[in-house]
């Protein structure tokens, strides 16, 4: 099974990620075609950074200030598969939410990250990732840099507030690194956050099949300004390390329990549940269980104590769980004569699809709109998903 690993020891930016994936083996022609369809056809250059050969992407694009809708309009014109366009939209949505959290609801325009080069870098990175098609993606700790830098918002600290907001709640591990200035850009952070399943402190056990290097713009004489990628063969791709948090409660209402479970999911928990149990002295109660990435288990334990009023949280650390490969794709489903792009989750073991599951929340919306029972909407979507899967179409 193939694992894609990023080593951003000198930071990451959109052009570095795209260049690294091209260096790793993504075919350049379709990547350049996709990038050229939204901006201009970029130029690929083989450069040297401290004596190490790397691929440098020149997008040949200028600055721009755009709204999120304007960026989406450009992305949707890309000569790329639907999955590539959808992934690019998710990356920009991450950036938009981060900008809003930092600058407030009035901040509706992208500056640096709305420029043509950022759009091209994101489309190019998504296309290259699509062509490499790894089974799992990890990132080693990413260097953010330190100090301050100047941008359209003025002089800001490093890492930039938007970059920090993008990484919050993700599995990506960070370090300051040894270099002053911005090493991790918001675009680089958003691409890594969208692509990576896990952040690790070192490479897992496995065989290295190929190494790729993507170059940044600066030619640092002290350390190579490159992003290193590894394509590996490993048996560890299907394991995910999580912490399990548990506590027993018998003196709070179901409304409070439900509220906490929702908050835990919003904070980044992978799952949260309440299980009826019989406690000491025959008292009915609940076992509250939260499954979370180790990076946020301490925060969730504190929230669990505060929200549930419990004095003790049991934490089982570093539990490995099997993770099947999955993807969510938008499949055309015809309902009452209207064709709707319906989000459906597909689960895989190896190359075999064993799960076709329409998104329930979306089904509820469509059911209300057409005054049709939800179960019928789910049936229509499930059948459409099965037909696409059986035809093996690239959707």
Provide the pLDDT for residue 107: 52
Report d(CA 290, CA 261) in Å as an integer.
8
Diameter of the chain measured on Cα atoms: 74
Global pTM reads 0.62
Query: What are phi and psi for residue 244, nearest 5 degrees?
Result: -115, 120
Provide the pLDDT for residue 91: 95
Q: Is 45 helix (H, G, I), strand (E, B) or coil?
A: strand
Which string of DSSP letters, residue by residue, matches 47-69?
Answer: EEETTEEEEEEE-------EEHH
Distance of CA 262 to the CA centre of its chain: 21
- For residue 136, the cross-strand partners are 3
Sign of CA dihedral 165, 168, 172, 177: positive
Q: Is 254 helix (H, G, I), strand (E, B) or coil?
A: helix
- For residue 66, the cross-strand partners are 110
Sign of CA dihedral 102, 13, 394, 356: negative
Residue with tokens 């640096």: 112
- 147 conformational bin, left if phi > 0, alpha if psi -120 to 50, beta if neither: left
Provide the pLDDT for residue 28: 96
All domains of the chain in start order, with CATH? 2-233 (no CATH), 240-322 (3.30.70.1380), 325-391 (3.10.20.300)
Provide the pLDDT for residue 237: 44
CB of 324 within 8 A of CB of 237? no
Provide the pLDDT for residue 241: 77
Provide the pLDDT for residue 101: 82
* 202 CB-side CA count, 13 A: 3
The one-digit pLDDT tens for each residue of the chain (395 residues) are 789 999 999 999 999 999 999 999 999 999 999 999 998 889 999 999 999 999 999 988 777 778 888 899 999 999 999 999 999 999 999 998 888 887 766 555 565 555 788 899 999 999 999 999 998 999 999 999 898 877 666 788 888 888 999 999 898 999 998 888 899 999 999 999 999 988 998 998 889 999 999 999 999 888 899 999 999 998 654 456 789 999 999 989 999 999 999 999 998 999 999 999 999 888 899 999 999 988 898 899 999 999 999 889 999 987 767 777 788 899 999 999 899 999 999 988 767 788 999 999 999 999 999 999 999 999 999 999 999 888 765 44
Provide the pLDDT for residue 105: 66
Q: Which residues of 98-122 are buried (b: 16+ CB within 10 A; e: fewer)?
A: bbbbbeeeeeebbbbbbbbbbbbbb
């Amino acid at each position: 099974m193939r694992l894609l690993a990023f080593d951003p020891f000198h930071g990451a930016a959109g052009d570095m990620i795209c260049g690294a994936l091209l260096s790793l083996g993504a075919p350049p022609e379709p990547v350049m075609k996709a990038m050229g369809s939204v901006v201009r056809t970029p130029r690929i250059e083989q450069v040297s950074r401290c004596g190490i050969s790397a691929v440098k992407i020149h997008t040949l694009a200028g600055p721009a200030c755009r709204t999120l809708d304007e960026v989406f309009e450009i992305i949707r014109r890309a000569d790329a598969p639907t999955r590539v366009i959808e992934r690019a939209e998710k990356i920009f949505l991450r950036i938009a939410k981060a900008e809003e959290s930092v600058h407030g609801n009035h901040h509706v325009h992208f500056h640096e990250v709305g420029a043509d080069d950022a759009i091209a870098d994101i489309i190019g990175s998504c296309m290259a990732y699509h062509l490499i098609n790894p089974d799992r993606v990890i990132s080693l700790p990413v260097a953010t840099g330190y100090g301050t830098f100047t941008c359209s918002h003025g002089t800001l600290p490093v890492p930039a507030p938007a970059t920090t907001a993008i990484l919050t709640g993700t599995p990506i591990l960070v370090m300051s690194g040894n270099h002053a200035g911005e090493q991790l850009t918001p675009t680089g952070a958003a691409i890594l956050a969208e692509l990576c399943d896990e952040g690790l402190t070192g490479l897992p056990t496995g065989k290295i099949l190929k190494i790729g290097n993507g170059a940044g713009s600066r030619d640092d004489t002290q350390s190579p300004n490159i992003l290193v990628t590894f394509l590996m063969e490993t048996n560890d791709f299907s394991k995910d390390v999580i912490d399990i948090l548990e506590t027993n409660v018998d003196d709070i209402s179901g409304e409070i329990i439900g509220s906490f479970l929702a908050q835990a999911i919003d904070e980044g928990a992978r799952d949260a549940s309440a299980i009826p149990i019989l406690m000491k002295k025959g008292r009915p109660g609940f076992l509250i269980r939260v499954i979370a990435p180790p990076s946020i288990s301490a925060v969730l334990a504190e929230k669990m104590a505060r929200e549930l009023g419990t004095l003790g949280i049991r934490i089982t650390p570093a539990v490995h769980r099997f993770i099947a490969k999955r993807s969510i794709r938008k499949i055309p489903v015809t309902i009452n004569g209207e064709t709707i792009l319906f989000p459906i989750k597909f689960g895989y073991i190896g190359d075999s699809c064993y799960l076709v599951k329409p998104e329930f929340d979306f089904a509820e919306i469509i059911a209300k709109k057409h005054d049709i029972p939800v179960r019928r909407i789910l049936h229509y979507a499930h059948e459409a998903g099965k037909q696409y899967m059986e035809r093996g179409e690239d959707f």
